[in-house]
Amino acid sequence: MPAAALQRLAALLPPERFLTRPVELAAYESDGLTAYRARPLAVAVPETADEVIALVRLCHELRLPFVARGSGTSLSGGSLPVTDGIVITLNRLNRILKLDPAQRIAVVEPGVINTQVTTAAAPHGLHYAPDPSSQSVCTIGGNVAFNSGGAHCLKYGMTSNHVLGIKAVLATGEVVEWGGASREHIGPDWCGLFTGNEGLFGIALEITLQLLPRAECFHTVLAGYRTLEQAGDAVSAVIASGLLPGALEIMDALALEAAVAAVHAEYPPGCEAVLIVELEGPRETVAVERERLDQIIDASEPVEARPARDAEERAAIWKGRKSAFSAVGRLSPDFIVQDGVVPRRRLGEALRRIGEMSREVGIRVANVFHAGDGNLHPLILFDGREAGALERAESLAGRILKMCVEMGGSLTGEHGIGVEKRDYLPDMFSADEIGLMQRVRAAFDPLGIANPGKMFPGTEAPALLQHGLHPLEKAGIISRE
Amino acid sequence: MITPSSLAELREAVLSAPRVIAVGAQTKPRLAAVDAVKISTRLLRGITEYDPSEFTFTALAGTPVSEIIAALGERGQYLPFDPMLVDAGSTLGGVVASGLSGPGRFRYGGVRDFILGVRFVDGAGRLLRMGGKVVKNAAGFDLPKFFAGSLGRFGVLGEMTFKVFPRPASTLTLEVAGDAGTITEAARSRWELDALDVLPDSGQVVMRLAGPAPALQIIAREILAKFPGRISSDECWSNLREFRWAHLDGVLLKAAITPDQMAPLPGHRRHISAGGNVAFISLPDATALDSINLKAMTLRGDAPLWIRPRLPNAITKDVKNALDPDGRFPNLDD
């Protein structure tokens, strides 16, 4: 990269918002997939949509790769920088441009934090439904790029189901606007295609989100079971009953241990699994449905079932669940979070096989998952200081992914393919199908400069591949400058 | 008209003519009224997979929606987005290609929110699968959503997988006097309405509640204490679903709107749906089109496909080329 090109980019922003010093770049080398890191040439910190457009257009002219980044919480390495490109960080485009309680929409910039949308909507009795576990830090721009999920997807869908309009700058520099304030559209669904593009099409500048009335009433039950299988059977019984819970979550023994250690969550003793079920709706509806749910849970013979008696108890249940990923950090210096999906009827079988694989290779796996939609989150624990440990953990992760696809599921329910799972894409899609996706990508980005190295296997990997930290670095003895 | 009876034959059909367009039961005839050889999906019929415990089914494109609704109903499930023109014979492929959803889209979303996966034939004659067969999936680009409303201009749908929900225990319909303000207030309420429309003839607001019967009775009393009206019958929904209110030989349009665009125009019959987010407009003939001040799509009748069209952007052409390099399917504005 000639210095002249970098200088032209730098000229688009004030010097304090175009970072090139190693100490400044270090913070952007990695995202939620901490095993990978790569140092970009520079980090641009735009504050307006016009600045983003100018940056992308110049990158296009210079054929310079760029990686858009929000809060860097991607668990699939979706915002991992490329060493021959720049990072465009969008955190300062953090304005809620419009909140229309009558039409129940919010128009936001990409750097707005997920929970801030609900915070702004709450005084009007509204909320933004998608709730990834990282919602207190992750941005809407990142949610849109990766079609983030959360604990309420069975009933409410994913990010894509809540995006009504998008204004974006494509990798060609073209600025497009699709959809808008209406919940309906005519013609092809461009917002649907753009959402989940993993940063390969361009950068969203303004996003119109639908807001929903906040449910009036919740009934949240935490039930502990002696075996994981019993918890799984309880899920099947709830599904078969005709109820449509807002959430159906399971945590296994190791995940429970982590939540206890991290946030002092309390669970019934002697349980190998905990099920969380939540009903929501108008109070009259919940009153009828909770009776039915309580009967089903009773019949499933839990060690103990604890309905939340008030909002505080409900919040405590969710705190334990949502902290589970980071809580596992208490049990192990490193871990990989997997995100495969299996048909719900095969959940029990999938968990059994994960357990077998885990014992076979001697690697601990904690399970936290969205049981209602078959979305597994095996947390594969390893110690990156041990030679070959990361590779062994990744190998186990790969076997789990292949199992999910073989069972008729998916490589990813909500984290996206990113860098992490790109080599497994051919397990789910044929060469022709990947070819088509590459042609679609090329329509948006003929030069391949938008977030290169993500989603597609093999060739397109200009940088990355700096596995893990240096052992001395990890021990805090050295640090990169 | 070519009538393939398998997905392999569908591929051949696509390659058999320089320009082709798929049709189902032709209940929205304007959408396929283009100069192209028609491929009928009539023989691509049947539910290929259905496991109620998964909340999903897979069916061939030519399967009548009525067949699907019946099969789901037997297992206490339904398509929450309320497909339109069911009695008229509309097919699953037609529902997706037209992107048409009914009043039920108000609560949980439209056809684009329930489609999970597609198998389709692209312009080069390749049979491809996109999306998945499980209720949650973020692998690869979301082309299934893109196909919702794409009018067969980017590929021919062969088979689709959908998410379904358990059918609510009961429903209750209320008819009240009201306007855009009523719609806005009801849409934000604690009641979680299942549908919220405006009737074409009377201009009355209709609300559908769905859930356990004892709960609905209490909620209905609260609504009627607030808005003057009455408990009505569920019959109005099938009238709306089948466009029985519209001019039979006239022009029928669909527009995506917001509640502030609900104000009626003289001489138009209109069904406002989905809490003021969709307008279906019926005109006796095309001469009244000039008065339409909304962007709209013509479902049937002798009128341009797009009313007040948006200028196409470069990406539309480029994505079209990616899926259909030889222009085997018509363009959106043909």
Q: Domain-by-domain residue ranges, chain B?
A: 7-166, 170-240, 246-307
CB A146 within 8 A of CB B138: yes
Cβ–Cβ below 8 Å for B145 and A289: no
Tell me if B109 sits within 8 A of A157, measured CB to CB.
yes
Domain B7-166 and domain B170-240 have a common topology: no
pLDDT at B146: 98
User: Contacts of residue B138 in chain A, CB cutoff 8 Å?
Assistant: 146-147, 149, 158, 196, 339, 410, 412-417
CA neighbor of A371 nearest in space, from A390, A407, A346: A346
Q: Please, how many CA atoms are within 13 Å of residue A370, restricted to the half-sphere of its CB?
A: 32
CB–CB contacts below 8 A, A to B: 255
Amino acid at A161: N
Minimal CA separation from A434 to chain B, in Å: 9
pLDDT reported for residue B334? 82
pLDDT at res. A473: 41
**Nearest one of B42, B33, B27, B40 to B84, comparing CA atoms:** B27
Nearest chain A CA: its distance from B260 CA (Å): 9
Whether B291 and chain A come into contact, CB under 8 Å, resolves to no
Say yes or no for a CB contact (<8 Å) between B167 and A281. Answer: no
**Looking at beta carbons, which residues of chain B come within 8 Å of A102?**
184, 188, 259
Mutate to test the interface with B, among A76, A107, A126, A410 (most CBs of B within 10 A): A410
Q: SS3 of B21, please? A: strand
Neighbours of A96 (CB within 10 A): 17
Spans of chain A below 50 pLDDT:
461-481
pLDDT of residue A460: 53
Query: Is the separation of the CB atoms in A69 and A168 below 8 Å?
Result: no
**Would you state the structure tokens that stand for residue A345, as one six-digit string?**
């009827």
Q: Does A455 touch chain B if contact means CB atoms closer than 8 Å?
A: yes
Kind plus residue range of the DSSP H or E element containing B115: strand B115-121
SS3 category, A312 = helix
Q: Does B311 touch chain A (CB under 8 A)?
A: no
Q: What is the DSSP string of A396-453?
A: HHHHHHHHHHHTT-BS-SSS--TTTTGGGHHHHS-HHHHHHHHHHHHHH-TT--BSTT
* Parallel/antiparallel/unpaired status of strands B251-256 and B229-232: unpaired
Q: Do A192 and B112 touch (CB under 8 A)?
A: yes
d(CA A160, CA A22): 36
Q: What is the pLDDT of residue B263?
A: 82
Q: What is the pLDDT of residue A3?
A: 86
Q: How does DSSP assign A225-255, residue by residue? A: ESSHHHHHHHHHHHHHTT---SEEEEEEHHH
pLDDT at A326: 81
A349 touches chain B (CB under 8 A): no
Q: List chain B pLDDT tens, one digit each, 334 residues.
A: 999 999 999 999 999 999 999 999 999 999 999 999 999 999 999 999 999 999 999 999 999 999 999 999 999 999 999 999 999 999 999 999 999 999 999 999 999 999 999 999 999 999 999 999 999 999 999 999 999 999 999 999 999 999 999 999 999 999 999 999 999 999 999 999 999 999 998 999 999 999 999 999 999 999 999 999 999 999 999 999 999 999 999 999 999 999 999 887 778 899 999 999 999 999 999 998 988 989 999 999 999 999 998 877 899 999 999 999 999 999 998 8
Q: Tell me the β-bridge partners of A168.
A: A176, A204
Chosen for mutation from A183, A200, A214 (greatest number of chain B CBs closer than 10 Å) is A183
Residues 254-283 of B with CB under 8 A from A: 254-259, 274-275, 277-278
Whether B321 contacts chain A with CB within 8 A: yes
State the nearest Cα–Cα gap between B135 and chain A, in angstroms.
6
Stated length of chain B:
334
DSSP A31-83: -S-TTB----SEEE---SHHHHHHHHHHHHHHT--EEEESS---SS-TT---T
Which domains, ranges and CATH numbers included, belong to chain A?
3-91 (3.30.43.10), 96-213 (3.30.465.10), 217-327 (3.30.70.2190), 332-441 (3.30.70.2740)
3-class secondary-structure state, position A378 = strand
Q: Which of residues 137-156 of A touch B (CB under 8 A)?
A: 146-147, 149, 153-156
What burial class does residue B241 get, using C-beta atoms within 10 Å of its C-beta: 0-12 exposed, 13-18 middle, 19+ buried? buried
- Chain A neighbours among B 80-119 (CB < 8 Å)? 99, 101, 105, 108-110, 112-113
Half-sphere exposure of residue A414: CA atoms within 13 angstroms, side-chain side:
29
Copy the structure tokens of residue A211: 């807001």
Instruction: Give the tokens for residue A300.
Output: 């499933």
What fold, for B170-240?
Alpha-Beta Plaits (3.30.70)
Bridge partners of B116?
none
Tokens 């109820």, located at residue: A243
Cβ neighbourhood burial of B247 (10 Å; 0-12, 13-18, 19+) = middle
Place of tokens 């037997």: B74
Q: What chain B residue is nearest to A169 in terms of C-alpha separation? A: B315
Check if CATH label 3.30.465.10 holds for domain B7-166: yes
Tell me the pLDDT tens digit for each residue of A95-115.
Answer: 999 999 999 999 999 999 999
B326 to chain A, minimum CA–CA distance in Å?
A: 14
CB contact under 8 Å between B153 and A188, yes or no, is: yes
A121 to chain B: closest CA residue: B188
* CA dihedral angle for residue A431, residue B99, residue B304, residue A164, rounded to 10 degrees: -90
